[in-house]
Amino acid sequence: MSEIFSIRGGTALKGEVRIGGAKNSVLKLMAASILVPAPVKIYNVPDLTDVEIMIEVIRQLGVKVDYDKQERSVSIDATEVTEVTAKYELVSKMRASFIVLGALVSRCREAVVALPGGCAIGERRVDFHIRGLEALGAKIKIENGYVHAKVPKLTGGDVYLDIPSVGATENIMLAAVLADGSTHIQNAAQEPEIVDLANFLNSVGADVTGAGTSEITINGVSPDKLHSIEYTTIPDRIEAGTFMSMIVGTRGKAIIRDIYPAHLTFYTNKLIRMGANIKLIEPTSLEVSCRNRLNSINFVTQPYPGFPTDLQSMAMALLVVSNGVGIITESLYENRFMQVPELRRMGADIHQDRNHAIIKGVKKLSGTTLLASDLRAGASLVVAGLMADGNSIVKNIYHIDRGYENFENKIRLLGGKIERLQEETPVEEIRNESYI
């Protein structure tokens, strides 16, 4: 039976919220553990659908996995990898699982990984991944929906990425760890999650330098150099940005804890320009507040350290009730304005022209029934529902559960009126007390 969020808007969020581990990092750390012929333990692991899928992917490879939700840890023992096939049934559920390709080729010198296909926000091709592995000597063929990669021994090489693809950078990094010689990735992705992966790899005995810049060097090591470690995942900057948007959008005041503020510099500066008040109160805590109506500005999504595409929909939710006209340009994905029709149903004034959205601020949104099309669009509808007059229902919240841990509980701790319900529950039967 499907679930929904029932939201009553109009309440300013106040209090404190703690941010969990970065989904986009921990999934890659789990894949990287395949390289290590010894036990590895990862902490600050969020309780997410995507984490459970990745666990099943690596278990299918014969790797032992113990997921302790109470401790928020995953213990992985890849002493033995008995299978080199990642099947479509699992890879199709979560695109990030394609990252096991590089690790398997590096560790086992062979991999058969299902093509992940497209997704709701647009096509994300894997040709950069494949060309990178080929540059290291892998022989690759694609047939029956699977990438077949095989190599007697990977050899370091020079890889230039036409665009700074996060996934391709990660796959090439993992493949290069056990390769002979050095690998140089030029125009590499610079996201904090790339740095976290490099730090993890170096902690287990790999030799990676340059992560966080456009050029990464991986000096190959022998398998016996890799060893057991315990490692803590970085905080989730996109979850933090989502809560910043909620607090500012409801004209609230709250403290966001357990974050790396430097990972949020671009969004923080944008919100301050719009009229929000944000100040650092501790090395890992920000106080976020807003008393007045925000002012519209323009956003252009770019690879890190530019404005993140994963926060584009949150920015749009704020712009629809801001003073003036703002323009959002989505430069990374062709279908990442999936939230636009739903925001329009709430009264937003948005004109979309291909990858541009021109937003004229309205004074108020009105609650209604909304459909989440993907993870970030769904989260932005929750932000909009908290800002709106009246009640909103958000359906298809399984998308949101992929990337936000205890979402409604954290919102309720800030005073937000939100409840998770079975979809068949008639709206008229949702009593006021259910929000308390």
Q: pLDDT by residue (tens digit) across 254-263?
A: 999 999 999 9
- pLDDT at position 55 is 97
- pLDDT at position 333 is 80
- pLDDT at position 431 is 39
Q: Which two tokens stand for residue 120?
A: 């709701």
Stretch 329-344: mean pLDDT, rounded? 92
DSSP designation for 22: -
Catalytic residue positions, numbered: 119
Evaluate if residue 144 carries a pLDDT over 80. Answer: yes
Neighbours of 423 (CB within 10 A): 12
- pLDDT at position 433 is 40
- The answer to whether the beta carbons of residues 218 and 198 sit under 8 Å apart is no
Question: What is the band of 426 on the pLDDT scale with cuts at 50, 70, 90?
Answer: low
Stretch 244-256: mean pLDDT, rounded? 98
Stretch 25-50: mean pLDDT, rounded? 97
Residue 406 burial by Cβ neighbours in a 10 Å radius (0-12, 13-18, 19+): middle
- H or E segment and range at residue 281: strand 277-282
Stretch 376-392: mean pLDDT, rounded? 98
- The answer to whether the beta carbons of residues 2 and 401 sit under 8 Å apart is no
Stretch 214-225: mean pLDDT, rounded? 97
**Alpha-carbon separation of residue 98 from 102, 118, 358 (angstroms):** 9, 12, 35
CA distance 211 to 243: 28
- pLDDT at position 204 is 98
Q: pLDDT by residue (tens digit) across 53-74?
A: 999 999 999 999 999 999 999 9
Mean pLDDT for the chain?
94
Q: pLDDT by residue (tens digit) across 72-126?
A: 999 999 999 999 999 999 988 888 899 999 999 999 999 999 988 545 544 557 8
Q: What percent of the chain has pLDDT over 90?
A: 89
- pLDDT at position 334 is 78
CA distance 195 to 201: 10
- Structural domains present in the chain: 3-20+235-435 (3.65.10.10), 23-232 (3.65.10.10)
Stretch 320-341: mean pLDDT, rounded? 94
- pLDDT at position 160 is 97
- pLDDT at position 335 is 81
- The structure's pTM equals 0.94
